[in-house]
Structures are given as C-alpha cells and as structure tokens.
Amino acid sequence: MLHKTLKPFPKDFLWGASTSAYQVEGASLEDGKGPSCQDVKVVPEGTSDLKVCADQYHRYKEDIALMAEMGFKTYRFSISWSRIIPEGTGAINPKGIEYYNNVINECLKYGIEPLVTMFHFDMPAALDERGSWGNRESIDWFLNFAKVMFENFGDRVKYWLTINEQNMLTLVGPVIGTLMIPEGCTNVLKETYQQNHHMLVAQAKAMALCHEMLPGAKIGPAPNISLVYPASCKPEDVLAAQNYNAIRNWLYLDMAVYGVYNNLVWAYLEEHDACPEFGEGDEEALKSGHPDFIGFNYYNTATVEASDGTEKLDPGADQQTARGEAGVYRGYKNPNLPTTEFGWEIDPMGFRATIREMYSRYRLPMIVTENGLGAYDTLTEDGKVHDQYRIEYLRKHIEQIHLAISDGAEMMGYCPWSAIDLISTHEGMVKRYGFIYVDRDEFDLKTLDRYRKDSFYWYKKVIASNGEDLSD
C-alpha cells in the first residue's frame, strides 16, 4: 500500500533501547547475587565469560546519563532473578533490591520510563537443579519472583515485559544455554513443550497478578516474532510457511492474548505424541492473562519451502538461522535479501509485514523490544566509531515502522538492541550492537571506558525529531 501522506509517530512514542542483566551488568556473583544458568554454563570456545560484561553494575549512572543525552524516553532492561532471590526461592537479597531501585530511580531522574523484563534467559542455577521449567513448581517460583518485583518496584515501573523470547527458549534452548532436559528423557519434544506450557501458565498468572497489584501498570509478552514467507507460490510452500508461522510465532501470541493453543501447533504436537499435560486450573489461568500490549523482538524474516520428510532439526542453529523439520517445513535462503557479517538476513520491509500481520491478528498496541545490527566495530585512535552500516540498518527499519503506523498499526515505541555494547548470547563481545562502544575485547578488559559511536549522535537526532529526521 502506497501512502500519499504518512501519519506521524505518536507524540508519546517511547524511543529507547534494550539490554539484559546477564549480558550487560557483570558483577556476576557480587553483593549476594546467586549464580544463574548463564553463570554456570560452558560458554562457546573463544567467547568471553559473563563475569564482567560491560560492567554496568558499577557504571549504571554513567550509562543512564549517556542514554539521557541521546534523549531516551524509555530504557528496557531486565532484572536478574538470582540477584534478587539468590536461590530462586526463599531469602531476598537486599543489595539486589537496592541496585535495581538505584537503576530505576536514576532513569526517572532523567525522565526515562523503565521498561522492565522480568525474565531474560537467566534462571537461577539453584532452580535448574530442582528441574527448572520442567518442574511444575516453576509456575509458583516465577509468580513469587513477580510478586517481589511488583512489591518493590511497582510504585515506579509502569511497563513490564514477562518472558523474553519464550519461543526461542523453546525452539533453540541449547544455543541460549537454558534448556534442561532430565537424564533418561525419551521424548525430548514433549518435555520441551511441557516446559513451555509451564512458562505460558506462569506468564498468564504473572500478568493477572500485575493487574491485581498494580492497576495502573501495563504488562505484555516479549517473543521474537519474524514473519515466515513461502519460498514460492506453490500451495505446498504456502502450507509449510503456515506451519512454521504457527510453531515459531502464533503459538506464543495466541496463548498470551487469547489463552488458547494454536490449532496447527496442537495438531503438530499430537502428531509427535508431545502434547503438554494440563494441571488443575491451567485452562482458566491461561485465559486470565489479558496483556495490555505486545512487546516483540524482530531481526529478520524466515523463508521456508515444503518438507520432503528428510529434514533434521539442527541443534546448533540459532534463532535466525534457516531450520527444517521433517514433514513440517524446510528452511530456505531468501535470494532477495542481503545478510549481515554474522550471516543473518536483513529484511526491513519484512518488519512492516510482521507488524501488519501481528496487528491484524491481535489488535493490541505494540512496542519493538529488540531490533538491531550486530557487527565488528572498530574504535579509532581518536576515540570514534564510524558505524554507518548500523545507521543505515536502523534507518531502514524505522522507515518501515513509520509506514506500518500509516497502515493503521498502533505502535507504542522502539527499543533497538542494544543501548550499549554487551556480551552477545553465543558470539561474545566481538558481535557489537550498541550505540555506545565499550572499550574491552573478548578477553582483554582494557579500560571499559564508554565512547559515543556515530549512531549515538544519529539516534539522538531521530529521537529529538520524533522519527521525522532520519538523515545522516
């Protein structure tokens, strides 16, 4: 659809950026914090551990001041479960409460709205030892954690996100380092979707609790949503795309919004004897969530063709890599799209298509909680980072949000990944996303000083113009 005139970005549009606790904070076992699954996992060879990261735990004031200089309206960050409750349940760590109070207050000092992710890939290690999300008690563990957060921070935090990329926790858990499969399990798919079910119930109960405890707050899910294209107009390719869209995307949003399993996904699980078991009260709980908005992460689209029945899931494939599953779909490299240095396809127009599809299905306000370009950035001798490639990537995606708004989609905000350089999930420090350069390498911590990249100044101008000025 061509528009003669574009609708403006909403006046209260939440421009900002995102991070997560385990990737940016460091201080991994400091001030009473217990270990999370991220602290005890074996990191990929040649990549940094998570002990220091960007050291935001000690430098949050400096970092938030830089965000304020950019003009951020919001800052999306996550709260580390094991920093608040070191064992996952039981005693609360006062130093953890103090730290996040300080972060929240520092944001508010500059008029930056905190957007808090409750769970971002960092299950307390003590709970992993008790079965993690495979244990039905995980629903109560998470609800207790939610209650502690709402009690301590709910007077100042108006926007909450439940579980970051729950679909990726389910689909590519081994890559993220989060999936705990019990020894002797004979049906891994069933176990995986049982864990997913517990997360879905926990999410719904947390959303209901938020509405009960904090009637003025808003809460929503934060899956990774990437529209899936058929490789051709062959009907069998269209069906394959519908299959993967359901498994990758709609299961999570159908459940968050409507409290029901997507029919295609349920048929797929039936086919594999992998349907999750419902506990008492689950059906009612799932329908009680009622999100106020949808947060979603977008990096690119996916393309698939019909399966010939021989595909095998690649356990090493990440969230944006072509995948395939026998009898369901086969991953296909889209010849119409360029790729990043790390092999991810770049599809700004697919961003608009994804937003349109989501809004047509769910009719809820939406906020982009991740979108960005991971790249090899170079710090020059005079302290500059010339990341024109990142500016170009972000410009093209913001243009598509503008078009989607003109298509009638209700957009609340844009929080690209990431506010500052941090440790990438499985590719370490070398894959940089931030507007702010952190002076450290994979293993050499150097100074950890902050430097404003060219994209920092560009994004400052974008925010100041409320998305109207995207020029260099």
- pLDDT, tens only, 256-272: 999 999 999 999 999 99
List the chain domain ranges. Answer: 14-224+343-351+364-464
Percent of the chain at pLDDT > 90 equals: 90
Average pLDDT over residues 445-461: 98
Exposed, middle or buried by CB within 10 Å (0-12, 13-18, 19+), for 154? middle
Residue type, 390: R
H-run or E-run covering 436: strand 436-438
Residues with Cβ < 8 Å from 158, sequence gap 6 or more? 113, 114, 216, 217, 218
Average pLDDT over residues 354-380: 97
| Residue of 378, 383, 375 whose CA lies nearest to 431 | 375
14-224+343-351+364-464 CATH, one of 3.20.20.80, 3.40.30.10, 3.50.50.60, 3.90.470.20: 3.20.20.80
In this prediction the pTM is: 0.96
Answer yes or no: 357 catalytic.
no
| pLDDT score, position 354 | 98
Active-site choice (25, 106, 305, 370) = 370
Q: What is the pLDDT of residues 26-61, one digit of tens each?
A: 999 999 999 999 999 888 888 999 999 999 999 999
**Residue 373 C-alpha from the chain's centroid:** 14
Least confident of 299-313, 344-358, 384-398: 299-313
Percent of the chain at pLDDT > 70 equals: 98
Average pLDDT over residues 414-418: 96
| pLDDT score, position 345 | 92
170 — pLDDT class (breaks 50, 70, 90) = very high
Q: Is the pLDDT of residue 233 over 70?
A: yes
Per the prediction, the chain carries an average pLDDT of 95
H-run or E-run covering 406: helix 388-406
Rounded to an integer, what distance in angstroms lies between the CA atom of residue 191 and that of residue 125? 19
Q: Is the pLDDT of residue 454 over 60?
A: yes
| Residue of 203, 146, 147 whose CA lies nearest to 170 | 203
Rounded to an integer, what distance in angstroms lies between the CA atom of residue 126 and that of residue 239? 43
Answer yes or no: 165 catalytic.
yes
Q: What is the pLDDT of residues 291-325, one digit of tens each?
A: 999 999 999 999 999 998 888 776 656 655 667 88
Bridge partners of residue 97, in order along the sequence: none
| pLDDT score, position 316 | 59
180 — pLDDT class (breaks 50, 70, 90) = confident
The CB density around residue 313, as the number of other CB atoms within 10 Å, is 14
Q: What is the pLDDT of residues 201-218, one digit of tens each?
A: 999 999 999 999 999 999
| pLDDT score, position 427 | 86
| pLDDT score, position 426 | 77
Rounded to an integer, what distance in angstroms lies between the CA atom of residue 218 and that of residue 352? 24
Tokens of 67: 């965000």
| pLDDT score, position 318 | 60
DSSP string, 206-228: HHHHHHHH-TT-EEEEE-B---E
Radius of gyration of the chain (CA): 21
| pLDDT score, position 190 | 96
Residue type, 445: L
| pLDDT score, position 179 | 86
Length of the chain: 472
Average pLDDT over residues 359-364: 98
Active-site choice (25, 106, 165, 191) = 165
Q: What is the pLDDT of residues 90-137, one digit of tens each?
A: 999 999 999 999 999 999 999 999 999 999 999 999 999 999 999 999
